[in-house]
């Protein structure tokens, strides 16, 4: 239970190996709704990193347009509205919504059926397995997630509960006979 990374068939991997690329159906060169990687990186720089005001974005894009004029090419965005619209139309995650219909199919009572027994209901969902794979593979959570349950003790020897994986539930879910043969950080074998 050291949380060492391993391959799909269980072979141990080096500790600092980066996770595999995020699962997606899209072509690696497909930056839609951005026309190119440069356009995406421009938007990320202006909006996320520089957090530029709308008038400054317009000034920058005007200067950009005038330098590209002689090559007869447009700037990455026409103005701040074009930039904002492109960012707003960026899909969040790659997991598509799906739906199915269902209705009551159990025993029917005599007399008039209540409406809910005869109605059809739509359920909309996204594949949870893919979403979980994306969460586990998200590099933003590096050093902010536990891959194995932990028991944390302070200098007085008292138990410290901090995150989900430091709790008893996670610990007890993961305990197996193999566990007792593994070294662990704190010498506190579970008893009882």
Partner 1 sequence: MLVPIILGSDKTTVSVATGQNEYYPLYMSIGSVHNNIRRAHCGALALIAFLAIPKSESS
What residues make contact with partner 1 under the rule CB under 8 A?
3, 92-93, 102, 104, 114-116, 119, 121-126, 128, 131-132, 135-136, 138, 140-141, 144-149, 162-165, 169-170, 173-174
What phi, psi does 162 have (nearest 5°)? -130, -60
Rounded to 5 degrees, what are φ and ψ at 124?
-105, 135
Cβ atoms < 10 Å from Cβ of 81: 12
Query: Least separation, in Å, of the C-beta of 50 and partner 1?
Result: 20
Instruction: Give 61 or 95: the residue with its C-beta nearer to partner 1.
Output: 95
Q: How close are the terminal C-alpha atoms of the chain, in Å?
A: 20
In the complex, minimum distance from the CB of residue 144 to partner 1, in angstroms, rounded to a whole number: 5
Cβ proximity of 75 and 101 under 8 Å: no
Of residues 81 and 162, the one with the C-beta less far from partner 1: 162
Question: Which is closer to partner 1, CB of 37 or CB of 126?
Answer: 126
């Amino acid at each position: 239970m050291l949380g060492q990374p391993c391959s799909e068939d269980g072979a141990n991997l080096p500790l600092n190996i980066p996770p595999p690329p995020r699962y997606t159906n899209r072509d690696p060169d497909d930056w839609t709704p951005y026309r190119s990687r440069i356009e995406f990186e421009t938007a990320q720089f202006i909006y996320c990193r520089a957090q530029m005001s709308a008038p400054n974005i317009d000034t920058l894009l005007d200067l950009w347009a005038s330098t590209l004029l002689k090559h007869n090419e447009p700037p990455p965005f026409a103005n701040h509205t074009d930039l904002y619209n492109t960012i707003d139309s960026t899909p969040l995650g790659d997991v598509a919504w799906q739906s199915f219909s269902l209705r009551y199919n159990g025993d029917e009572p005599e007399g008039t059926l209540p409406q809910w027994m005869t109605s059809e209901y739509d359920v909309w969902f996204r594949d949870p397995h893919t979403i979980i794979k994306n969460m586990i593979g998200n590099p933003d959570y590096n050093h902010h997630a536990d891959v194995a349950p932990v028991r944390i003790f302070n200098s007085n020897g008292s138990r410290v509960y901090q995150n989900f994986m430091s709790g008893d539930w996670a610990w007890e879910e993961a305990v197996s006979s193999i566990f007792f043969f593994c070294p662990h950080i704190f010498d506190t074998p579970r008893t009882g």
